[in-house]
Amino acid sequence: MSRHIPTYELYGENTGRSPEFWLHCETIRSRSSLHHWEIRLHRHESFFQILYIEAGSGDAIFGKRSHAIRPPAVITVPPGLDHGFRFSRDIDGLVITILRSHLSHPPGERSHLGEWLAMPRLTPLDPDNAEAAYVMQTLRRLGDEFENRRGGRNEVLAAYVGLALRLTARISHEGHAQELPSNENERRMVMLDELIQQHFRSHRPASFYAKELGVSSTHLTRIVRSMTGNTPHELIAGKLIEEAKRQLVFTIGSVQEIGFRLGFADPAYFSRFFLKYTGETPRIWRTNEKARLERA
């Protein structure tokens, strides 16, 4: 029997609540020291992570494979993959957690960067290389910006994330990165995530995704349940809710307009769908969320 791999809302946490941030940053030491320097295998469904290893050492575990970490280095972890870490007590660096929906090029997107982000990677950084040194400086600045609530904070954080990822991808493509292999089910989950990203507005059934992946609907359900604890239908619904929330907060369109954009021909059905998964109607959720953000 396969071992259960927990799904965490945030690095080492399972709150059962929706995230209240688009980016979170903390030191690796502050989190790993609470767990005796070992983060056991887990996964995040909605988060992309960047680990900046500045000092110390350790191992990155993806599936059943372990990969030695030597500083300085950047590790990128796409959503939906089983991963864990073992760190030395002198570890120093940052772990940056980003909502997948807030990446300018989401993992799996048909773009140079999106395809690069779809697989976990370990990229050594040579301090004597100008671009690698700039990545290190950018990630340090990101950590400082996160700690200090200055004007334009979100815009600066987004710029730092984009710059660090693009330069790390460039360094990787020059032949210095190690692609961290995952098992076949993890690869299928990456492909499924990409397909859902492309087609979720069309409300395609699970059988469509199974056919695209070359497996039966029953087998796809088995894979998704073993990897996430959910059904394919719940993953598709979750993507619709995630995008609905983003548009409710960050666009000025009416609830009806947002529903139409997401493929709901009937505004009443969109409201019932949203209520089923969030406990609130889109209108009430939007009002409450905007009030919460204003207080933050």
Query: How are strands ordered across the β-sheet holding 65-69?
Result: 38-42, 83-87, 58-62, 65-69
Structure tokens at 68: 């030695």
- Which residue, of 179, 197, 213, is where some domain finishes? 179
* In-domain check, residue 280: yes
- Same domain flag for 208 and 135: no
CATH number of the domain at 49, please. Answer: 2.60.120.280
Shared domain check, 157 and 202: no
pLDDT at 91 over 70: yes
Range(s) of the domain holding residue 44: 23-179
Residue 87 bridge partners (DSSP) = 58
Q: How many domains does the chain have?
A: 2
- Alpha carbons within 13 angstroms on the beta-carbon side of residue 155 total 3
Nearest to 282 by CA among 250, 257, 248: 248
Say which CATH number the domain at 201 has: 1.10.10.60
Q: Are residues 29 and 174 in the same domain?
A: yes
DSSP secondary structure string for all residues of 221-282: HHHHHHHHSS-HHHHHHHHHHHHHHHHHHH----HHHHHHHTT-S-HHHHHHHHHHHHSS-H
Average pLDDT, stretch 187-214?
A: 89
Enter the pTM of the model. 0.59
Closest of 242, 222, 241, 245 to residue 232, by C-alpha: 222
Asked if the model's pLDDT at residue 285 lies above 60, the reply is: yes
- Does 6 or 261 have the greater pLDDT score? 261
Are 31 and 144 in the same domain?
A: yes
Under 8 Å between Cβ of 99 and 53: no
Domain identity same for 131 and 273: no
Has residue 7 been placed in a domain? no
What are the tens digits of pLDDT across the range 54-83?
999 999 988 767 788 999 999 999 888 888
136 and 54 Cβ atoms separated by less than 8 Å = yes
Interatomic CA distance for residues 241 and 167, integer angstroms? 32
